Amino acid sequence: MTDTVGKTPKPAGPFSAWEIGLALRYLRAKRKEGGIALIAIISYVAVALAVMALIVVMSIMAGFRAELLSRMLSFNGHMYVQGQVLNDPERDLALERLREIPGVVSVTPLVESPAMFQASGRATGGLVRGIRPEDLTSMTYVYDSLSQTARDMFGKGDYGGDYVLIGKSLAQELGIGVGSPITLYSPTGADSAFGNLGGLSKTYVVGGIFSSGTADYDRAFVFMPLEQAQLFFGKEGLWDIIEMKTAEPDRVEALREPVRTAVGDGNLVSDWRDRLAAFWGALKVERVAMSIILGLVVAIAALNIISGIVMLVKNKTRDIAILRTVGASQFSMLRIFFISGATIGIAGTVTGLVLGLLFCLNIGAIQHFLEWVFQVELFNADVYMLDAVPALVDPMDVFWVAMWSFFMSCVAGLIPSWQAAKLDPVEALRYE
């Protein structure tokens, strides 16, 4: 007992229990007690709604971006090979070597040439893609949209037969359907003893109508069996390009060297980022711009905390003076009001994250419920090729949203807290 007598009590450290307890008590205090409960609730709700909106919008944007890229890459492929391997006598062995590369899902030789399409007195231009019937399965959206009859008829007959596949938009533009004749005009034809014949035309039969999920592709492309396309365009035995699909399109860079090794030197290896560079760049710019705009919304919502803490400091001027008089430091005052502001922001951030994630994970059910309540179609499946709004939650997006909201809440709480720390207790108590 004698050891404890006369000893100076050890001061509490930063963010001690008494500082946290006093900060939370101030937030709960009623208006007549000098509290800011109502303003704290408004600030909390504003931060929560802003964070929720940011999570939902970024997830929907990511969902549309992923869906669009998935459809485009399903149609176009992920990697391409051009060069002397296309005319090499042992090109089939090169195809086998490409298929054996880990991560490569399919390898497809193609013939692509521009052509004019005419039917029902109407004409338009586009591209004819010659493809082997068995390679249609690599184009998931196209293959799934075809009827079983169209799949069976495609490629049957001499030199691949006379059945072609056209896109849904092209069929609507020309006013034709399955079984209708369509005439194709080629700017170049087969070579003969008199030179290139050029300007060949032939009438084919529409064997099926596909839908890739991208209207531009459905309007511009006609699929023809590879052997028939080689004959029609005067490219017998030739390929224009080798197209590959990979298990992970985002990591095609790692496959460039194995692909070069498989096809040998003197060949050009490219990937979808080269062909879709403008589109990919636009998506990244849009993502950054939208993130900045929505981030400002969160910042504005967090600024509500400033007004609340300013009023709290004003109402608690006498308390601050008394605490300073009995030994509380300036930094203790700063931490008390900083904790009050940060608590509002953290609570709003956590609530916003939970609400945003729940909304994204149940967005289909929410959409259908709203359609049932208001008896309107919010998302036309015929236009977007989707039955619900896509939402893809990216963990990194969620992390950065949480960090940004937490940072802005701390900044908003720090500004008025600094003013509270600088308050002179003598001046505060002069008129008490």
Residue 241 tokens, joined: 């390009």
Residue 163 contacts residue 207 (beta carbons within 8 Å): yes
What number of CA atoms fall less than 13 Å from residue 94's CA on the CB side?
A: 25
Pick from 246, 272, 298: which residue ends a domain? Answer: 246
CA end-to-end distance (rounded Å), the chain: 41
43 occurs within a structural domain:
yes
Which residue pairs from 35-41 have beta carbons closer than 8 angstroms and sit at least 24 positions apart in sequence?
35/312, 35/315, 36/308, 36/309, 36/311, 36/312, 36/315, 39/304, 39/307, 39/308, 39/311, 40/308, 40/340, 40/344
**Is the residue at 272 inside a domain?**
no
Among 203, 223, 246, the domain-final residue is: 246
Query: CA 130 to CA 114: how far, in whole Å?
Result: 11
Which helix (H) or strand (E) segment holds residue 76: the answer is: helix 37-76
Of 94, 391, 108, 143, whose CA–CA distance to 246 is shortest? Answer: 108
> Same structural domain for residues 211 and 300?
no
Q: What is the pLDDT of residues 246-268, one digit of tens each?
A: 988 888 888 999 999 888 887 89
Which one-letter amino acid corresponds to residue 425?
P
Q: Which residues of the chain, if any, have pLDDT below 50? A: 1-2, 193-194
* pLDDT for residue 367: 80
Would residue 341 count as lying in a domain?
yes
Q: Are residues 285 and 242 in the same domain?
A: no
CA distance 198 to 217: 26
Q: At what angle do helices 277-302 and 37-76 cross, to 10 degrees?
A: 170
Residue 8 lies in a domain: no
Q: What is the pLDDT of residue 1?
A: 45
Tell me: do 240 and 331 sit in the same domain.
no
Evaluate if pTM is beyond 0.75: no
Q: Considering only CA atoms, which of 208, 200, 209 is closest in space to residue 229?
A: 200
CA–CA separation, 396 vs 381, rounded Å?
30
Q: How far apart are CA 364 and CA 379, in angstroms?
A: 10
Mark whether 318 and 198 lie in a shared domain.
no
Judge if 129 and 224 occupy the same domain.
yes
Judge whether 358 lies within some domain.
yes
Same structural domain, 62 and 132: no
Structurally, how many domains does the chain consist of? 2
Residue 47 covered by a domain: yes
Residues 371 and 420 in one domain: yes
3, part of any domain: no
Residues, the chain, total?
432
Task: Supply 46's token pair.
Answer: 């504003």
Residues 194 and 132 in one domain: yes
Same domain, 231 and 155: yes
CB-CB contact of 344 with 305 (8 Å): yes
Say which residues have a Cβ less than 8 Å from residue 115's Cβ, sequence separation at least 6.
125, 126, 127, 128, 184, 185, 186, 187, 222
Q: Are residues 297 and 230 in the same domain?
A: no
Structural domain boundaries, residue 139: 104-246
Residue written as token pair 């705009």 = 293
Alpha-carbon gap, residue 59 to 46, rounded angstroms: 20
